[in-house]
Structure 1
């Protein structure tokens, strides 16, 4: 518009294809129109900003055909012209094409529902005419759901409603339904007036009721050059009280024991947030992921960068929960005392993260000094403070003294420099654990910790 008003022109030395078209569109242009029409029909529910039409035209060519989108919209024409003597310019066409319908309908559904749940499906119908309109809204009934009886006595057909709409008015038809089957369900609504009709389809996923539980069983198959085929069977049964139709089973065959564990590795890397315990629960997996990537032949640069960024953020957050005595607790200085379990966990994780991010040595030394203050003369580490997220203790039971001592000892053994600096305390803890094993450690979890230490 500016170029036309100011009498400006753009010139180009681009080579232009010669040819005249005295009788309208040539064969190639006709194919272009057909392709555009096909494309436009497949985009009926999408608001396209531009519709391109490319054709060689002559001086007497004036028109071409397109199929307008299905909906209420407005189209304006703008010509971009290239010619040998005029160059390149924009020529706005002072015409607007308004696309209208007698009415339009719209409804939304949640992405997921639970089988047996009820929902009131509200279908909104808008009258686009300047006069009153009578519309019948009809919902297609399937085996996937049932209609819930309404209190309206005048409703003779439960899946159809009649609406009377004033000019440019929107009204709603409501269909209470209850879902009966699992899986993807299609909801189809039709609307009809004396002169027009419309249809809209939405899909949602119906999930089973109850609480999802899963069970797994592992079978190791050894294939040797001598025995290249082996037949094994696995028997299983579903627990009592299972929701009908929710049962499913699948099996996976892999050549790597850890393959399934690292299949969705990126899901382990999460932003550390929350209290001192929650922050570490999200901090530690990022460290383990980076350690795995170091050993893996298939390094993921994007995942590594994300994990390192979260490690730095988690370390910064964790400093907020270190108390004046060097210990860590869920809420820092607000707690009565530091937590032996959490402090040992923080020390070990920070030592593991030290090769990747910068860790203040004083943070580690203060925490270790606090841990050693609670070591008994026999080498046992005494439990102090509380742990809110007890799942961090694993399968701990009555053998807490041996498990805690082994857990704290592992923090000191994580770095050779600290294990050498506190060699006396480390030796004393090892001696205590050896005596505990001699007496007997009943918990398998505690025994694993002791053996690992």
Structure 2
């Protein structure tokens, strides 16, 4: 375990990998003996070390002498950031950071491009803005900056979205005495109103032949107009559709092998522990399915294992005395603990212990928590007034049969991972629960 906690990776831990793609290149060198390769340097304040190697059919593999070190700091550049999603009619701000790395002060001109998708919001004297009815104007807008030597300036550019829906681009140019830079942000504009989600399913029998469907039945009205009413069924231009295909054994698998509830449930955000458990379990069983079908490539699954590690950290943050809580301010739940432990047991696999390691102490502690809630009749009950599983609600003094069933499965599956006195206690508890 100490190896997994203290291991060190030279490239990942000591070298910045985020902005190195600009230099990675593969070229053919002809009979001239040299080639000129031009690349745009990443806009970061960094010292770069460049090295290369060549492969020749006669002379074999040759490396360059000690790497070439150079400073690629641009004398002037800008960075832009803003929201990735907004609603139609909202006011959003684009934050521009202008950097002057030169040894003397400069003046720079920021230019907001004209676009039919948004209008510029004027900020009145003293920073006052009428939020519900601001003064706006379209067209190109300019802002003059004076930046001290080796300094920076932050500028907020407010815009009001007029596009109904779709993708919107906001482009800002920066011009100084010795350099010009440009930044473009893409913002997804969602229509106003509350989303109405409908779905339709279609069973495909592909056992004997392929099928071609030219049209699909979409559960939506052709027109949003309700006769003799000012109300509308939906907003013009807002309908959108997506298609997902699921097999008879397992559901659709994304290219990155990661499953997230925000995508599966179409934008719904779960801030509770069961959301983390869903992310962990769905991604885990995706990897299990690929492993069992001999389609799992550990290099391609690297990001998926990192995703599992992040979700595991979130689950353990909600753990107290071995039990797992649905929210940070609630007491541990027997049902939720059994559900999470069942997933952690499925994640224990020697094939990927170096990528995802489940400490047996976590299983031991959680199983010990479950044993505390076994009643005299051998069943299990949920303590407290809130029952996360509707099937496990109170029915008098007897234990909950559905809760006992899921805990019994967890106890049975956890036996190979337990040692010492806990193994005996779980064996006895399993026997009592089956009586």
Normalised by the size of structure 2, how large is the TM-score? Answer: 0.50
Distance 1:422 1:254 in 2: 37
Given that residues 79 and 183 in structure 2 are in contact (C-alpha distance below 8 angstroms), is that contact kept between their aligned partners in structure 1? Answer: no
Q: Residues 426-445 of structure 1 correspond to what in structure 2 (within 5 A)?
A: 426=434
Cα deviation, residue 112, structure 1: 1.7
The number of residues matched between the two structures is 330
Is the 2:106–2:146 contact (alpha carbons within 8 Å) kept by the matching residues of 1? yes
In 2, are the aligned partners of 1:189 and 1:199 still within 8 Å (CA)? yes
Correspondence 1:18-33 to 2 at 5 A: 28=32, 32=35
Larger deviation: 218-227 or 182-191? 218-227
Q: 1:140 aligned to 113, 119, 130, which one? A: 113
Question: Contact (CA 8 Å) 1:128, 1:167: kept in 2 or not?
Answer: yes
Decide which structure has greater helix share. 1
Partner of 2:239: 247
Structure 2 CA distance for partners of 1:138 and 1:199, relative to 1, 3 Å: same
Which residue matches 2:201? 218
The equivalent of 1:188 in structure 2 is 172
Q: Who wins on radius of gyration, i.e. which is larger?
A: 1
Provide the C-alpha distance between the structure 1 equivalents of 2:158 and 2:112, rounded to a whole number of angstroms.
Answer: 11
Q: CA deviation at 1:217?
A: 2.8
Helix, strand or coil: the match of 1:28? coil
Match of 1:385 in 2: 383
1:303-351 per-residue CA deviation (whole Å, 9 max, x = no partner) reads 59959989998999899524xxxxx5649xx999x75534654675677
Residue in 2 aligned with 1:321?
321
The reply to whether residue 149 of structure 1 matches residue 122 of structure 2 is: yes
Corresponding residue for 2:295?
A: 298
> Cα gap change, 1:228/1:235 in structure 2, threshold over 3 Å: closer, same or farther?
closer
2:78 matched residue in structure 1: 106
Separation in 2, partners of 1:354, 1:404: 29
Q: Is the 8 A contact 2:107 2:145 kept in 1?
A: yes
Residue of structure 2 in register with 1:341 after alignment? 335
The superposition leaves residues 180-200 of structure 1 with CA deviations (integer Å, 9 ceiling, x where unpaired) of 33314131325377xx77342
**1:85: which partner in 2?**
none
CA-atom RMSD in angstroms: 6.2
**Distance of 1:169 and 1:316 partners within structure 2:** 43
Residues 421 and 109 of structure 1, relative CA distance in 2, 3 Å threshold: closer
Instruction: Output the CA distance in 2 between the equivalents of 1:208 and 1:218.
Output: 25
Checking the alignment, whether the CA contact within 8 Å between 2:108 and 2:174 is kept in structure 1 is no
Gaps of at least 5 residues in structure 2 are 1-30, 52-63, 127-136, 225-231, 262-270, 351-357, 416-425
C-alpha distance in 2 between matches for 1:89 and 1:209: 58
